[in-house]
């Protein structure tokens, strides 16, 4: 286990969680929304893990999981937080990692999560402007492709 991961365990304990080791140099830390920014500030400023690869959204049924994927040398560190589907609001990390701005816009488009603090949070990045408001975000498990096609008036080529 590398130096970074050992130190990470210390900060994870502060946030009342622990570091799980997945296969082959991958570690996962699950934190709550309240302790997310403090934990990430430790990660970026104290441990100098500055390269954010992407932000992944995941539909877990009752919640949406937002995973921040960091990388340093051989280690990949996933920091996961969940927001309930009843209140899709999360905190933006653009003040800690400015490069996260486009990734947060993508999660907003695809899952409907609103990031407080993102300067472009009301703009659409990938979805077209005429995406109707009553059509749910596309990557949720409950949104079917058939539903999207019908609502947008697209044809299907039948085989």
Partner 1 sequence: MSAGTGEPQRKEASAGLMEYSTESLVPFGPIHPALKEPEYFKLVLEGERIINVIPRIGYVHRGLEKASESRPWVQNMYMFERTCGICSFVHSVCYGQAVEELTMFQTPRRAKYIRTIILEMERIHSHLLWVGLMGHWAGFDTLFMWVWNDREVVLDLVEAISGNRVHKSMNAFCGVRRDMPENMADRIVERMKFLTDRARYYKEIIDTEETMLKRTENIGKVSVDTVEKLCAVGPMARYVGLRRDVRLNDPYAAYDEVPLDIITTTEGDVHALLRLRLDELVASANMVTYAVQNLPDGPIRVKIPPIIPAGEHSSHCEAPRGEIFYYARSSGGRTPERIKSRQPTMANLPTALEMLKGQTLADIPVVLTAIDPCFGCMDRMSFYDTETNRKWTWSGEELRQYGINHYFPDRSKKHNEARTIRDPSRIGQECRLEEF
Using CB under 8 A, list all residues that contact partner 1.
Answer: 22-26, 50-54, 56, 58-59, 67, 69, 71-74, 76, 78, 97-103, 106, 110, 119-120, 124-130, 138-139, 145
Burial class (CB in 10 A: 0-12, 13-18, 19+), 153: exposed
Nearer of residues 13 and 126 to partner 1, judged by Cβ: 126
Nearer of residues 41 and 125 to partner 1, judged by Cβ: 125
Taking the C-alpha atoms of residue 4 and residue 6, their distance in angstroms, rounded to an integer, is 5
| Least distance in angstroms from the C-beta of 5 to partner 1 | 14
Which DSSP string do the residues of 75-126 spell out, in sequence order?
EEEEEEEEEETTS-EEE--TTT-GGGHHHHHHHHHHH--EEET-TTTTS-SS
Kindly report the number of other CB atoms within 10 A of residue 43's CB atom. 26
Nearer of residues 15 and 100 to partner 1, judged by Cβ: 100
Nearer of residues 89 and 102 to partner 1, judged by Cβ: 102
| Least distance in angstroms from the C-beta of 99 to partner 1 | 3
| Least distance in angstroms from the C-beta of 155 to partner 1 | 16
| Least distance in angstroms from the C-beta of 115 to partner 1 | 14
Nearer of residues 106 and 114 to partner 1, judged by Cβ: 106
Burial class (CB in 10 A: 0-12, 13-18, 19+), 121: middle
| Least distance in angstroms from the C-beta of 64 to partner 1 | 12
CA 115-52-6 angle, to 5 degrees, is 110
């Amino acid at each position: 286990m590398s130096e970074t991961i050992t130190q990470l365990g210390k900060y994870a304990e502060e946030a009342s969680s622990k570091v799980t080791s997945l296969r082959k140099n991958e570690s996962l830390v699950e934190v709550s929304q309240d302790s997310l920014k403090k934990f990430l500030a430790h990660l970026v400023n104290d441990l100098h893990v500055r390269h954010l690869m992407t932000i992944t959204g995941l539909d877990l049924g009752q919640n949406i999981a937002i995973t921040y994927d960091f990388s340093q040398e051989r280690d990949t560190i996933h920091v996961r937080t969940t927001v309930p589907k009843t209140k899709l609001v999360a905190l933006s990390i653009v003040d800690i990692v400015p490069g996260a701005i486009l990734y947060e816009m993508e999660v907003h488009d695809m899952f409907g999560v609103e990031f407080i603090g993102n300067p472009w949070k009301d703009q659409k990045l990938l979805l077209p402007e005429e995406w109707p408001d009553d059509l749910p975000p596309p990557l949720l498990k409950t949104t079917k492709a058939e539903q999207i096609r019908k609502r947008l008036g697209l044809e299907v080529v039948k085989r």
